[in-house]
Amino acid sequence: MTAAVHPDRNFKHWLLSPAIFLLLLIGLFPLFYSLIVSFMRIDMMETDTSFAWLYNYKNLFEDARLWWSLAHTALITAIALPIELLLGLAMAYLFLEKMPGRQIFISLLVLPTIISPIVAGATWRLLFDNKYGPINQIISWFAGERVNALWTINPALVYPAIIFCEIWQWTPFMFLILLAALSNVDKSQTEAAEIDGARFIRTFRYIVLPAIWPVMAIAILIRGLDLFRIFDIIWALTKGGPGTRTETISIYAYSQGFKQFETSYTAAIAFLVVFILTVICTWAIRRMGLAK
Amino acid sequence: MSARPLHRRYGVRLAFRYGIAALLVIVFCFPVYWLFIISFKTPDEIFSFPPVWYPASIQFANYAVLFKDGDAATVGNSLILASVSTFFAMIFGTIAAYSLVRFKTGGENLAVWIISQRMMPPVAIVFPVFLLYVWLGWVDSYGGLILLYTAFSLPYVIWMMRGYIEDIPIELEESALVDGCTRWEVLWKVVLPMARSGLFATAVFTFIFAWNDFIFALVLTRTEVTTYTVQVTHYFGGQSNFWAKIAAMSVLGTIPVFITVAIMQRFLVRGISMGAVKG
Amino acid sequence: MVTRRDLGKIGIGAGLASALQIRAAQAADAAATAVEAAKKYSGQTITIVWEAGLQSLDPLNFSGPKWKELTGIEVKVVEVPVAEMFTKILQDFKSGAGAYDALNVIPSWMPDLANAGALEVLDPYVDQFGFRDELQKIAPTYRDNQMMVNGKIYGFPDDGDVFVMYYRTDVLNDPAIQKAYKDKYGADMPVPPTSWKDFDQVGALITEVSGGKIYGAAFFREAGYGNFMFQERFRNEGGKFFDAETMKATINSEAGVKVFTDWLAENKFAPAGVEQWGFVENLAAFLQGQTAMTLSWPPYGRWAASYGTDQEAMNWVPKSTIAGKVGYAMTPGGHPQLAAGFCLSVSSTSKNKEAAYLFIQWLNSESVSLERVKLPYALRDPFRTSHFTDPGYAALWPEAKDYLKALQDGANNGLLDMSLLQTDKYEEVLRQSVSKLWGGEDPKAILDTAAAEWDAITEKIGTDKQKAVYTDWAAKSGAYPKM
């Protein structure tokens, strides 16, 4: 055994201690604190710190708006994630081979991803404006008549609007990661694409996909988690409207906690979310073979 | 004989690829373009129907207002919060990652626990943190937000840096130790330089995460440390949406990120790929 | 050498001197008193929460700089969108951050904020700085309904907000349109319409006759405004918010459903996309001559007359093409909502309460408030009796006299915003309901859900507790139309 693997004990703990301290302070302690709060009945006006135990948790189950918000979250994730993945993959293949100016194209395509999500939402709200935005204008050109779609109000259009914005912003992220992953795959396998379609699919299925899967799985996991917490884009586009039709779990929790001041109830929602995520992540990590 | 058709096929394919690439660039960059030109439009141009696709002349009145009213200072706040928190997250995260990799501190369980912190949705974190900060009196303070961003970035930094550090040959460190370096010196003189590109790539993303944050800042700031993301939303609603201010403020907040990314570009793609591959 | 005893004397002397000064100043106007007393805070900064956007132009361009010039106190304006003002103020109070010194408070929230302890009781300051007399001169509706909670002063009414109906005199008096009306309905066209039935007939007819070149009417339809519009219209239709006995919500009554159904019908003759119109969209359309009638707050009237729109601060307002062609009237039904409005208050967590108080006294005083309501770019509207009768104001544009009369009539017949415990929760339900209406849901179903949600809120707060508050509120003169 070499010296490097036998340090003095203090040193290795010193190295970790600031990080662990911060994670405990910001991650674990508040969670513990709010667990206690979730057993009480604190709201805007009342500061009742006696224990009501499962009172708030019982209410969770009767709260239709909460379950709807979870359903909305799941819907957005289920539609946006596969599209981002497939589109990102297609784009990665497009730019896999060298071509002059490739780097410039890639840099330009990455722009949406580095913009703040709240700004992305704001930008799309400008684009979607029924009168002063260019989207209805462009659609009108194709339709040959004046189209007046209310993208942020019409129930049939709000989800397409949100998902479009989401895809616009995050497909480039998928693209970059998958491009990097594909670049690491043996060239002869990916270039076989030129030969014929059937062989391309076979190669992809049995050689390329297994090779890029570890990276792809992580990309899916990251994006999946991000989509589950989607807040900024919706805040800028619809604020959860019309009514509560696009209210996601994050929007709902925010409105309960910081608009309605249902302190204890929001703490309970936060716990429900943590619980759901833990279950999903554990399952996903196992299922995707990410656990080492 | 067969060379020419193949060659031509290559040419057609290339043209096809350029065509698609150009189309993609138009689709993905058009919204950014639209945002920028709105910020240069006059009110009449913004509220003209049908929409004007480029302003008659570039004018900066929309920006001038932001500077005059002091709204532009929020970009400065974002800059302070994002860069200071990135600095701390990089230091604490890197040394923690080094400890995890080289000394297997805490084993696999600790590493998994740290990564699992990244899975917490901000909305679940922000509420307890708000309660905590109220208690400590940290709401609307630079320190409070920096601490939060640092902690929130840590799992990511540790995760990424773990991969980079694993790539450094242990022999280098050993020979440095033999030469009489202390462990801190090994870390400083051998490990950090070797992991340089990884450090930069990770730092860029850490910076962008903090820069882009909205929900923490929305809840935890009032007047002193309002970030630009929160400021942008102030122009929504009220009597109306202030398109000009929304656009100008957004552009102001986007430019620093564009610059950072442009400078750091060569580390970036590599950073994403290696981090993900190693993750 | 100054001994300790001397110091004591000096202290007493200074105290006496300032007491005398203040006594003398009481005779003078409250603005001057405030300025004098505030000078000792010169060099400090106070923070005031103001509605984001247009409203903030007043403290940013006028009152803030002027106050600094007079007293040396810097004013920092925190702009917050109206939908988040209540939240932010309460959050700041709960967090104990004390980031805000002075506040703009919408009167209907005042009981909640006062009960939570977020607002400073102003009576001692009012007496100390001699403001009682001038407070009394605020127009009765605002003074009696928007100043006090449980008998204590928590805010100074500072904005005479009331909905006014604006109509294009040239369009409504157009013989062709009047003839078409008579042909269709067999009666003379009422100009201006005074009931919603007439209004809708006139509106639909104008759109029809002009072929959409000019729309009969447009409204605020965006949910945040819809809340106010619903409250007004619902009560003009005879609706009551609650059953006075059981405290059950009754917004799903026939009156409520009628309002929603009428709204949907009106959208058909309004410009496309009206569902998401707020203050500026509606304003732009009216000023550009695209709509013949609309309901809005007072500033529309000033800008339509081109008053002050040449100012740099106003360059976002489309140029008025209708100056001289605008008539002012009470909204159909005759009881316009005293929608929103603003009071000036002091935050209980402020670290500089006296300076904050002095600033709002100065803002609210007879002399300064008159200047402020006359600011061409301001959104503050006349709220003192002296504003309504000010000859200078009446001469600002040719029809300004009619305008002031419409405002005063509106104030006298106006309906207060509903104000209960946790009002914001009830209003949030209304905003959601309006949003759902534009989302295509059924009016009756929306209102049934809303009523159930109101009941749940009431139950949670405590039915008896809320009932007592509601009974008090409903007894106010402006709660329901006097039938």
A101 sits in the region (left: phi over 0; alpha: psi -120 to 50; else beta) called left
Cβ of A45 and C421 within 8 Å? yes
pLDDT, position B27: 94
pLDDT per residue over C235-269, tens digit each?
999 999 999 999 999 999 999 999 999 999 999 99
Mean per-residue pLDDT for C399-422? 93
Comparing CB atoms, the residue among C53, C95, C281 nearest residue B139 is C95
User: Is A48 exposed, middle or buried (CB count within 10 Å of its CB: 0-12, 13-18, 19+)?
Assistant: exposed
3-state secondary structure of C155: coil
| Shortest CA gap A284–chain C (Å) | 36
Cβ of C90 and A44 within 8 Å? yes
Residues whose CB falls within 8 Å of the CB of residue C315, separated by 6 or more in sequence, listed in order: B42, B43, B61
Shortest CA distance from B20: residue in chain A: A94
pLDDT, position C99: 84
Structure tokens at C233: 């219209």
Q: Which residue has the higher pLDDT, C160 or B8?
A: C160
Cβ of A241 and C223 within 8 Å? yes
For A24, phi then psi, to 5°, come to: -70, -40
Cβ of B116 and A20 within 8 Å? no
Cβ of C281 and B238 within 8 Å? no
d(CA B209, CA B259): 15
For C30, phi then psi, to 5°, come to: -65, -25
pLDDT per residue over C357-389, tens digit each?
999 999 999 999 999 999 888 789 999 999 999
CB B225 within 8 A of CB B140: yes
Which chain B residues are Cβ-neighbours of A274 within 8 angstroms? 120-121, 124
For B169, phi then psi, to 5°, come to: -60, 130
pLDDT, position C173: 94
Residues whose CB falls within 8 Å of the CB of residue C184, separated by 6 or more in sequence, listed in order: C205
Which chains share 3+ C-beta pairs under 8 angstroms with A? B, C
Structure tokens at A281: 């992540």
The β-bridge partners of C329 are C165
d(CA C361, CA C380): 16
Helix extents (H) in chain B: 3-40, 43-46, 61-68, 73-103, 107-116, 122-136, 142-166, 170-178, 183-186, 192-194, 196-212, 215-220, 228-234, 243-263, 265-278
Cβ of B114 and A19 within 8 Å? yes
Q: How confident is the model at residue C26 (pLDDT cuts 50, 70, 90)?
A: very low
pLDDT, position B71: 86
Mean per-residue pLDDT for C35-45? 95
* Mutation site for B-interface testing, chosen from A26, A33, A99 by largest number of B Cβ within 10 Å: A26
- pLDDT averages per 10-residue partition of chain A, 292 residues: 54 88 85 85 72 87 93 96 96 88 87 92 91 91 88 90 96 89 76 65 86 86 88 90 89 87 88 87 76 48
pLDDT per residue over B54-79, tens digit each?
888 888 988 998 898 788 999 999 99
Residue B247 pLDDT exceeds 50: yes
Q: How confident is the model at residue B269 (pLDDT cuts 50, 70, 90)?
A: low
The H or E element spanning position C329 is strand C326-329
d(CA A133, CA A140): 12
d(CA A238, CA A152): 6
Residues whose CB falls within 8 Å of the CB of residue C408, separated by 6 or more in sequence, listed in order: C139, C382, C388
3-state secondary structure of C328: strand
The H or E element spanning position A135 is helix A134-143
pLDDT, position B270: 60
Mean per-residue pLDDT for B207-229? 89
Cβ of A12 and B229 within 8 Å? no
Shortest CA distance from A238: residue in chain C: C435
d(CA A114, CA B258): 8
d(CA B111, CA B102): 13
Residues whose CB falls within 8 Å of the CB of residue C275, separated by 6 or more in sequence, listed in order: A150, A153, C221, C222, C267, C438
3-state secondary structure of B255: helix
Shortest CA distance from B264: residue in chain A: A107
Residues whose CB falls within 8 Å of the CB of residue B99, separated by 6 or more in sequence, listed in order: A12, A13, A15, A16, B105
Tally Cβ neighbours within 10 Å of residue C85. Answer: 24
d(CA A153, CA C436): 9
Which chain C residues are Cβ-neighbours of B143 within 8 angstroms? none
Which chains share 3+ C-beta pairs under 8 angstroms with C? A, B
d(CA A212, CA A204): 10
Which chain B residues are Cβ-neighbours of A31 within 8 angstroms? 124-125, 128
- ipTM value, please give it: 0.88
Mean per-residue pLDDT for B210-218? 92
Least confident of A83-92, A117-126, B44-53, C299-308: B44-53
Tally Cβ neighbours within 10 Å of residue B186. Answer: 21
Shortest CA distance from A174: residue in chain B: B272
Which chain C residues are Cβ-neighbours of B236 within 8 angstroms? 81
Cβ of B223 and C279 within 8 Å? no
Comparing CB atoms, the residue among B17, B47, B100 nearest residue A94 is B17
Residue type, C82: V
CB C163 within 8 A of CB C434: no
d(CA B78, CA B225): 8
Cβ pairs B/C, distance under 8 A: 77
Comparing CB atoms, the residue among A152, A244, A260 nearest residue C276 is A152
Which chain A residues are Cβ-neighbours of C441 within 8 angstroms? 243
Cβ of C439 and A242 within 8 Å? yes
Q: What is the pTM of this model?
A: 0.83
Cβ of A267 and B254 within 8 Å? no
Which chain C residues are Cβ-neighbours of B222 within 8 angstroms? 78, 88, 91-92, 95, 97, 99-100
pLDDT, position B90: 95
* Mutation site for A-interface testing, chosen from C275, C280, C420 by largest number of A Cβ within 10 Å: C275
Shortest CA distance from A65: residue in chain C: C453
| Shortest CA gap C96–chain B (Å) | 7
pLDDT, position C5: 42
Mean per-residue pLDDT for C418-435? 91
Axis crossing angle, helix B243-263 with helix A102-114, rounded to the nearest 10: 130
Cβ of A273 and B121 within 8 Å? yes
In DSSP notation, C370-431 reads HHHHH-TT------BHHHHT-HHHHTSSTTHHHHHHHHHHHHHH-BPPP--TTHHHHHHHHH
